[in-house]
């Protein structure tokens, strides 16, 4: 099944992904994403009516961090802020949202 | 005394016998990097020597680390301008384990940006060149790591694989590289790509080094809930046991493979038979289906994993994403969208089950599976654009095993007519890295990889 994703859909996917696209990029991705989708159709050749999905091959279930286990992952406030460009009073500075 | 070309196990002996100090060893590789890296572009960031009181098993052995492992205090970019100025405030489990054993970090190696690709050409810092022929790609995404050891800018390197990113560059640069079982090595502190697939592992000049490093890296990590608590095998000792295997090979994995590569794999199968192993033809689901499963699942996981880069807490904002990352983000967003989720994402997860079951069935008949690692040898830089999915086809033979989460090792088995290395992969059953290392080691002892690794190093000899 050959199809071309409409331009609006590409723009929508750009929005969902938090990226802005030029007109030229939209055109390029429209072609490329449509081609990729066409290739992906081959999985429909394999019947899976009675097959459960696999999300993770490790087959582990309900893995918890042990109570009382030593957790060295925490960062200090200074460490957490060490890579930000904008901070104020020991906090991340972001644009006003209200 | 000559250091050149020595494996890490040999270097450790030299340090133990005080033939050389840790600092001298570090400086030796640093000098080589200064000399060769401007041309090869294998390293993005060089680390400073750290005097270390940890003596552990690695005794100051310098290692190259792919730039998607967070290294505390050492810039980590994943080859993307989004993280151009990112200095991790914490250490990944993999690098922490190496440091605990006394390893020295030489520097961070170039890769495809976010590990998206198999040529290092999507790096925002320019491609790495293949030391065998600098007009060619080293493969990827761990291309910088593979190039670094094949030119002996580092005696061994750490890479990571989602599907092919260790095996394929190891194959194109003529080195050993092992992708462990998913969950064998912790992903904590590795910049995430496909979280249900990502597997860190070593690239080395010998199978013994791979066994040695894997033993250091493997094991359960409370900070990675998908890491396994199955006991770690003693790889270096299993590697040397006398074992005979039933080796499976499947016609489906020779479809579309270059004739010279096919011939070398067949010759390698003869070597295995000569060593007393049985070979058996098996039937596997054609790898082309794994491309679809992998592409759908990996892009979906990418679109979720890359959502965190907002430029607020660290790094630059989303305008810095390159072309390939954008393509993957959007494709992932599409297959996860309402109305398409069942047709693509869920369907791919179901086919993933079929692939897992297919391998399980085959591993009840054979101990390991042998196949080419890649359908062609190293492409010229720039040639990737000609191929659909920008290189996904290059990893066609790596994707089924990756989707199933199986371990596999690449070893060099020959050169093609233009003197480029050809790689063979041995895939093993879950958590049976011991068997694939054992068989790879038997092959290495028998053939010395036909002198390929030595030949690769020749051009980069000390004066």
Contact check, Cβ <8 Å, B327/A32:
yes
Q: Is the peptide bond before B141 cis (omega within 30 degrees of 0)?
A: yes
- Pull the structure tokens for residue A5: 């994703």
Measured between CB atoms, which of B288, B313, B327 is closest to A92? B313
Assess whether pLDDT exceeds 80 at residue B85.
yes
Weakest-pLDDT range from A66-75, A85-94, B115-124, B127-136: A66-75
Q: What is the pLDDT of residue A64?
A: 87
Domain range annotation of chain B: 8-458
Residues 41-70 of A with CB under 8 A from B: 41-46, 48, 51-58, 60, 63, 65-66, 69
A26/B contact by beta carbon, under 8 A = no
Task: Please identify which residue in the block is written with the tokens 């000399």.
Answer: B35
Tell me the per-residue pLDDT of A16-65, one tens digit each, with 9 for 90 and over. Answer: 999 999 999 999 999 999 999 999 999 999 999 999 999 989 888 888 88
Residues of chain A with Cβ-Cβ distance to B196 below 8 Å are 55-57
Interval B6-24 mean pLDDT = 95
Tell me the per-residue pLDDT of B58-75, one tens digit each, with 9 for 90 and over. Answer: 999 999 999 999 999 999
Pairing of strands B104-109, B43-46: antiparallel
Interval B422-451 mean pLDDT = 98
A2/B contact by beta carbon, under 8 A = no
B354/A contact by beta carbon, under 8 A = yes
Interval B320-345 mean pLDDT = 94
Interval B414-442 mean pLDDT = 98
CB of B61 within 8 A of CB of B16?
A: no
Across chain B, mean pLDDT equals: 96
Contact check, Cβ <8 Å, A53/B352:
yes
- Cα B398 to chain center, whole Å? 11
Task: Name the minimum distance, in Å, from the CA of B315 to any CA of chain A.
Answer: 7
Residues of chain B with Cβ-Cβ distance to A77 below 8 Å are none
Residue in A with minimal Cα distance to B318: A19
CA distance B171 to B151: 14
Assess whether pLDDT exceeds 80 at residue B98.
yes
Q: What is the pLDDT of residue B53?
A: 66
Contact check, Cβ <8 Å, B330/A55:
no
Q: What is the pLDDT of residue B309?
A: 97
pLDDT category of residue B338 using cuts at 50, 70 and 90? confident
Q: What letters, b where the CB count within 10 A reaches 16 and e where it falls short, cover B372-398? A: bbbbbbbbebeebeeeebbbbbbbbbb
Residues of chain A with Cβ-Cβ distance to B303 below 8 Å are 17
Q: Mutation test of the interface with chain B: which of A7, A14, A18, choosing the one with the most B Cβ atoms within 10 A?
A: A18
Residues of chain A with Cβ-Cβ distance to B331 below 8 Å are 33, 36
Q: How many domains, in total, are found in chain A?
A: 1
Interval B153-172 mean pLDDT = 98
CA distance B422 to B438: 20
Residue in A with minimal Cα distance to B296: A40
Residues 314-343 of B with CB under 8 A from A: 314-315, 318-319, 321, 326-327, 329-334, 337
Q: What is the pLDDT of residue B389?
A: 65
Q: What is the pLDDT of residue B45?
A: 98
Contact check, Cβ <8 Å, B292/A54:
no
Assess whether pLDDT exceeds 90 at residue A72.
no
Catalytic residue, from B79, B92, B137, B141: name it.
B141
Does domain B8-458 fall under CATH 3.40.50.360? My reply is no
CB of B200 within 8 A of CB of B160?
A: yes
Q: What is the pLDDT of residue B29?
A: 98
Assess whether pLDDT exceeds 80 at residue B30.
yes
C-alpha distances in Å from residue B12, one per residue of B110, B240, B314, B374, B414: 26, 19, 38, 33, 29
Following DSSP, what letter does each residue of B332-394 receive, concatenated?
A: HHHHTSTTTIIIIIIHHHHHHHHHHHHHHHHTTT-SEEEEES-SSSPPBTTGGGGSGGGGGGG
Q: Helix or strand or coil: residue B216?
A: helix
pLDDT category of residue B209 using cuts at 50, 70 and 90? very high
Interval B212-237 mean pLDDT = 97
Q: What letters, b where the CB count within 10 A reaches 16 and e where it falls short, cover B207-231? A: bbbbbbbbbbbbbebbbbebbbeee
Task: Name the minimum distance, in Å, from the CA of A98 to any CA of chain B.
Answer: 18
Interval B225-235 mean pLDDT = 96
Residues of chain A with Cβ-Cβ distance to B389 below 8 Å are 36, 39
Assess whether pLDDT exceeds 80 at residue B52.
no
B66 noted as active-site residue: yes
B347/A contact by beta carbon, under 8 A = yes
Assess whether pLDDT exceeds 80 at residue B392.
no
Q: Is ipTM > 0.85 here?
A: yes
Residues of chain B with Cβ-Cβ distance to A14 below 8 Å are 326, 330
Measured between CB atoms, which of A19, A44, A82 is closest to B89? A82
Q: What is the pLDDT of residue B442?
A: 98
Q: Which domain holds residue A12?
A: 7-45
Residues of chain A with Cβ-Cβ distance to B347 below 8 Å are 43-44, 48
Assess whether pLDDT exceeds 70 at residue A1.
no
Weakest-pLDDT range from A30-39, B39-48, B386-395: B386-395
B72/A contact by beta carbon, under 8 A = no
pLDDT category of residue A68 using cuts at 50, 70 and 90? confident
Q: Helix or strand or coil: residue B150?
A: helix
CB of B104 within 8 A of CB of B146?
A: no
Measured between CB atoms, which of A17, A40, A52 is closest to B329? A17
A96/B contact by beta carbon, under 8 A = no
Q: What is the pLDDT of residue B324?
A: 93
pLDDT category of residue B391 using cuts at 50, 70 and 90? low
Contact check, Cβ <8 Å, A94/B313:
no
Domain annotation covers residue A41: yes
Domain annotation covers residue A84: no
Measured between CB atoms, which of A14, A32, A57 is closest to B405? A57
């Amino acid at each position: 099944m050959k199809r071309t994703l409409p331009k609006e859909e590409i723009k929508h996917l750009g929005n969902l992904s938090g990226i802005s696209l030029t007109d030229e990029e939209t055109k390029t991705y429209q072609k490329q994403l449509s081609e990729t989708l066409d290739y992906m159709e081959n999985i429909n050749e394999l019947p899976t009516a009675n097959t459960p999905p696999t999300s993770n091959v490790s087959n582990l279930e309900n893995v918890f961090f042990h109570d009382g286990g030593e957790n060295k992952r925490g960062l200090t406030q200074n460490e957490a802020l060490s890579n930000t460009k904008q901070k104020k009073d020991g906090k991340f500075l972001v644009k006003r949202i209200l | 005394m000559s250091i050149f070309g020595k494996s890490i196990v040999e270097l450790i002996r030299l340090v133990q016998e005080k033939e050389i100090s840790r600092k001298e060893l570090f400086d030796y590789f640093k000098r080589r990097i200064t000399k060769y890296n401007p041309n090869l572009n294998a390293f993005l960031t060089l680390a400073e020597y750290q005097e270390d009181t940890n003596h552990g098993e690695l005794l100051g052995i310098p290692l190259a680390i792919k730039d998607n492992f967070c290294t505390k205090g050492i810039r980590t970019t994943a080859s993307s301008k989004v993280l151009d100025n990112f200095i991790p405030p914490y250490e990944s489990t993999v690098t922490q384990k190496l440091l605990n054993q006394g390893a020295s970090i030489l520097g961070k190696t170039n890769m495809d940006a976010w590990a998206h690709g198999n040529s290092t050409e999507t790096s925002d810092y320019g491609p790495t060149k293949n030391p065998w022929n600098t007009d060619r790609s080293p493969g990827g995404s761990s291309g910088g790591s593979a190039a670094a050891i094949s030119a002996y800018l580092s005696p061994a390197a750490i890479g990571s694989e989602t599907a092919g990113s260790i095996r394929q560059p190891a194959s194109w640069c003529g080195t050993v590289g092992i992708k462990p079982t998913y969950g064998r090595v912790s992903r904590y502190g590795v910049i995430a790509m496909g979280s249900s697939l990502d597997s860190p592992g070593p690239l080395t000049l010998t199978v013994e080094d791979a066994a040695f490093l894997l033993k250091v890296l493997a094991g359960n990590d409370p900070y990675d809930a998908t890491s396994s608590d199955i006991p770690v095998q003693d790889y270096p000792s299993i590697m040397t046991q006398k074992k005979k295997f039933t080796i499976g090979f499947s016609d489906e994995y020779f479809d579309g493979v270059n004739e010279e590569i096919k011939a070398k794999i067949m010759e390698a199968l003869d070597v295995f038979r000569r060593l007393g192993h049985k070979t058996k033809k098996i039937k596997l689901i054609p790898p082309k289906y794994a491309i679809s499963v992998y592409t759908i699942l990996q892009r979906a996981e990418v679109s979720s994993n890359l959502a965190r880069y907002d430029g607020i807490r660290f790094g630059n904002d989303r305008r810095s994403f390159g072309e390939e990352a954008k393509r993957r983000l959007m494709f992932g967003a599409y297959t996860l969208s309402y109305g398409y989720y069942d047709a693509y994402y869920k369907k791919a997860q179901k086919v993933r089950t079929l692939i897992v079951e297919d391998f399980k069935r085959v591993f009840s008949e054979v101990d390991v599976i042998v196949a080419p690692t890649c359908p062609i040898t190293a492409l010229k830089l720039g040639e990737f654009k000609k191929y659909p999915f920008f290189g996904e086809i290059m990893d066609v033979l790596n994707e089924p095993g990756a989707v199933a989460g199986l371990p596999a090792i690449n070893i060099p088995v020959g050169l093609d007519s233009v003197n480029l290395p050809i790689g063979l992969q041995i895939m093993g059953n879950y958590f049976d890295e011991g068997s694939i290392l054992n068989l790879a080691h038997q092959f290495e002892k028998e053939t010395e990889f036909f002198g390929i690794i030595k030949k690769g190093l020749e051009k980069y000899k000390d004066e």
